[in-house]
Every structure is written in C-alpha cells, then in structure tokens.
Amino acid sequence: MYNKRTKIVATIGPSSWDKDTIRKIIRAGMDVARINFSHGEHAKHSESIDLIREVAEEENRVVAIMADIQGPKIRVGKITKPIELARDDVITLTLNEADGTDNIVSLPHPEFVLDIAVGMRLLLDDGNLEFEVTEVLPRSLVCRVILGGVLSSRKGVMAPNAHLTLSAITDKDREDVEFALSKDTDYIAMSFVRNPDDIRELRWLMRHLGKDAAVIAKIEKHEALENIEDIIEVCDGIMVARGDLGLEVPAEEVPYHQKRIIRLCNKLSKPVITATQMLSSMVESPRPTRAEASDVYNAIIDGTDAVMLSNESAAGRYPVEAVETMATIATIAEQNIWQSRSPGWSTMSQKTGSEAISDAVSESTYYISESLNPRAIVTTTLTGYTARRVARERPRTPILCVTPNETTYRLMALVWGVYPLLVPDFHTIDEMIDVITSTAMKYDIVRRGDTLIIIAGVPFGLGGQTNLLKIHTVE
C-alpha cells in the first residue's frame, strides 16, 4: 500500500494535460484530478478526463475527477485602454455600455448593482484595487478609489460586506454541470456557496438532469462562514478556498477559519480540502519556500483530508515536482500526526440509534488497532460512511474500503488514509471475509498470518449503519 495517507488534489491544465505528465503526477501521488471550468472548452476537458482515466487504469490507481464550476463571477466589461487609478479618483460602474472613457466602466450585472449600498467596499482584480461606493444611482455606482492601480477589461469585482441575492448557479454553470455529469465526474465543486440552499439548488439541477455527483462546497464567502455548520451537514465535502476567502475577510483571520472548518469537517466525518497558494512559488521555482512547506505540513497536522494544487500543476513550470513535493511533505507530517492527534477527532457526537452505534464501533476500532497493530482496518461499505468515520480517527493502520459500489470506490480517493478496493457483491459474513481476503491477497496487500480488523453493517445492503467488528487472521 502507498506510504502517503493525505490525498492530493491536482488541477489539470496546459502544463499537465499531456499523457506523459499525467502519468508522472499520478505516480507522484495525485489522488483527485481537478478540472477548472473557469477556463477551457468542454472538448479539451473531455479529452483530459478520458486521458486521466486511461492512465489511472494503466497504473492500477484510483483517481477521482472533480469538476470545479465557476459560479456567479462578477466582472467589469471591456475597457478600450487600461485605466490608471490613484487614491481619491472617482470612477463610475454602470449598467450602460461604456469602454472606460472618462472613468466610466461597464458592469453588466444588474442583480449585483441592486444589492450594493453607499459605504460598501468593492474589491477588483483579486484585491489589487479597492473602491468605496459613494453614490448609488438607478443604473450606476459612483465610487471613490481607496487603493489605486491599473484596471483593465474583464477584471473580477467582489463586495465583501454585501449579502448578494443573485442565483448561485449561472447559465454557464448549468451547461458545465450537464457536461460534467455526461462525463460521470465524481465530484462537483460549487463556487461561492453562501448557505445550504445553494447546495440544494445544485442537487435539484442534477436530479433534473437525471444524474448525480458528490458536491464539494467551496468556502470563499463571508456568508458561508456564518452558515458553515449547516453547509457541512448538507454537502459531501468542503474546500477551504483561501484565495477569495482572504478577500472576503481579513487575511490574518483566514488561518482561524481554516482550522475551524477542518475541525468541524472532522467532527462530522466529511472530507475537507485545503486549497489555494499552498506551493505557489513552485509555479516558477523547483522548490517551495519554507513558509509553504510549513503551510502544507500544518494543514495536515490540523486534520485536512486533502491538500490542493492549482496553478502549480495546471500552468506552472514544475507540475510533477509540485506533486512530488506535496507528497513528501505529507509523508513527513503523517509521521508526526499522532503526536498532535486532536481530541476532537474521537469525541463522540451527540447522536442516537444506529449513528451512535456506528460512531462507537468506529472509535473502538482505532483503539484496538493501536493495541494489535494489524495489517489493515477493513471497512465494508456501500455509501462510504464507515470508511470516513474510521478515517476521522487518523489511525496509524491503513484503512481498506471494500465496496461493491463503483461510485463509492472512486469517491474514497478523497478521504484521508483510505485505500478503496472494488469487490463483487456479498450477502453473508463468510462471503464477506472470503471476498476481502481474496481481493487483498490478489493485490498483494495482505498475506497469510496477517491480522485484519473488519467492521461492517449487517444485514448487508442497507447502508448507514456499522454494527459489526471482527478481528480476523488471514489463513
């Protein structure tokens, strides 16, 4: 089994979408391939997805596909000539046609303008420019420049203090979701999530389209922080998108929110991805900075399931080296993770019935594995809940997720410490043990005499409960 437990999400782009590079980054440790729908055409995305799956099969690796949809991105219109802006300059953002002449710039988003009030801050070009709204007219926002710079065409606009009422899913997103589902992507990452209703809107769209995928909520809005526990409850995983989040809240507050979100996801056994600028210097450099290495290390110690590469693997000069570096840092962090193991990981949640039993069995599995040092903890699951719940404990022992469900098999590529195995269906405990041992021996994961801790839910096929724990010696 692989040495690394932390999963790596790598964005595929111009630097990495050829077959040879994809093979190298899979071998280096990529577990989830992220396709960024903010850039590129469907034809190229389709080619990349097919190639990733082809190479993953050749390498006998499980690599999940994540489609990251753009969301409601607000941008200024076309500007004929970039505008140089200094502090206290006046600039007007208008719904009318404008090309930047006389500091009047088109902002073709009426739903955005309606939500803006006098005194609000606007951040443009990823925070490189800052305006204060001084006057709201029926079709325009008059602003004073707080932080100057150069404004050019199609730069993004954010309003950190506004509660925006615009739809969470744009027409482009609908087209992208339909395409992603047609390619059977495993995860859809939803941008600019504000509340649980945004997640429900995406799920409704997928039901309407007749297919499904797991939903990752990207936390990058201040409203999302206010609703974070409810969002975690209804989604399938979380991405701490620190780039836009660091514009919505002061940058010095981002580490606090990151740690809090990771802790809440661990508590609810939901996978969490820490993303944005983790190894950003490796876009141009073959080595990370010390601060970047510490950033990745500490996210893993805090309990993140996965760490993500964006430009580093999509457009950087060293995509393979970036994945290798992240895998190396992860392996070192995991050697020390048990010394810093959070008590919150094994705090029994306030649940009753089958969920309480599942939690008790999963937590007990951790302590038994610490005593026996078995070859593996084996979870048999249809939905993946049992594997996620055991992974929350961060055991030293590898976790095998044995499932007959192909969707669950691929989704487990994102969960810390879990190695999925796709097996034939089984109906009795004896059949289960035969399937587990024969499949694990086939892949040279276990040998005769090895000890396994097996946990499952019986009767089989119901899902959502874990009530059986067996210590088994492979014969």
Spatial contact of 333 and 6, defined as CB atoms under 8 Å apart: yes
Tell me the backbone φ, ψ of residue 217, rounded to 5 degrees: -90, 120
b/e 154-191 (16+ beta carbons within 10 angstroms → b): ebebbbbebebebebbbeebeebbebbbebebbbbbbb
Cα 160 from Cα 199, distance rounded (Å): 21
Annotated catalytic residue, options 34, 194, 388, 394: 34
Told to judge if 34 belongs to the known catalytic residues of this protein, a careful annotator would answer yes
Annotated catalytic residue, options 53, 61, 75, 200: 75
Q: Which CA distances in Å does 210 have to 42, 72, 399?
A: 20, 24, 33
Annotated catalytic residue, options 194, 218, 242, 394: 218
Q: Which of 250, 320, 241, 309 is nearest to 280 (CA)?
A: 309
Told to judge if 276 belongs to the known catalytic residues of this protein, a careful annotator would answer yes
Cα 159 from Cα 439, distance rounded (Å): 53
Q: Which CA distances in Å does 469 have to 380, 446, 457, 472?
A: 11, 19, 9, 10
Told to judge if 134 belongs to the known catalytic residues of this protein, a careful annotator would answer no
Cα 176 from Cα 9, distance rounded (Å): 20
| Helices 290-302, 254-267: crossing angle, 10 deg rounding | 30
Spatial contact of 219 and 225, defined as CB atoms under 8 Å apart: yes
Annotated catalytic residue, options 276, 325, 386, 403: 276
Residues forming the active site: 34, 75, 218, 276
